[in-house]
A = this chain, B = another copy of it.
Amino acid sequence: MAEGKISTRIRVRYSETDQMGTFYNSRALEWFECGRTELLRASGVPYRDMESRGLMLPIVESHVEYLGRAQYDDELVIFTAVRMGGRARVRFDVAILQADTHQPVSRGWTVHAITSLEGKAVRPPQWFLAAIQRAGQL
């Protein structure tokens, strides 16, 4: 976890637990989304504005490692980094830790295509590349 990365905090909701008493595995991907959202906001171009400008970032691949438990009401901190991948792809790397003990909870990444609102692959425009570059330096 490089220092200086943008982080955001969440609390584990009861709805996110399962009968094992920890969070259900798919929730990690929803928390990864929280990290992406806050990182892009910090870059100056929130993801909602990207969609308003006609770009979407549909996911093409995800990978999650489950490293530790997180129970209802635990406060977690989500660190997120971003960089352009090859072939008009954007990659977000995420790490989720317990906010107080810094015990690792989950780690992983997602890769996204860059498309029009109709889902057609597009060449990323300059404003988008600039935003990702700024976000990558946060």
Interface residues of A (CB under 8 A from B): 11, 13-15, 17-22, 24-30, 33-34, 37, 46-48, 56, 58-66, 69, 71-73, 110, 119
A119 → chain B, closest Cβ, in Å? 8
CA distance A34 to B16 in the complex (A): 11
A87 → chain B, closest Cβ, in Å? 15
Copies of this chain assembled into the complex: 4
Interface centre among A17, A25, A28, A61 (most CB of B within 10 A): A25
Chain B residues, Cβ within 8 Å of A29: 15, 25-26, 29
Out of B15, B33, B72, which one reaches A14, CB within 8 Å? B33
Out of B28, B33, B46, which one reaches A13, CB within 8 Å? B33
Out of B11, B46, B56, which one reaches A20, CB within 8 Å? B56
A100 → chain B, closest Cβ, in Å? 14
Given contacts A29-B29, A63-B62, A66-B61, contact A14 B24 (CB under 8 A): yes
B46 touches A30 (CB 8 A): no
CA distance A127 to B30 in the complex (A): 36
Out of B21, B25, B33, B71, which one reaches A59, CB within 8 Å? B25
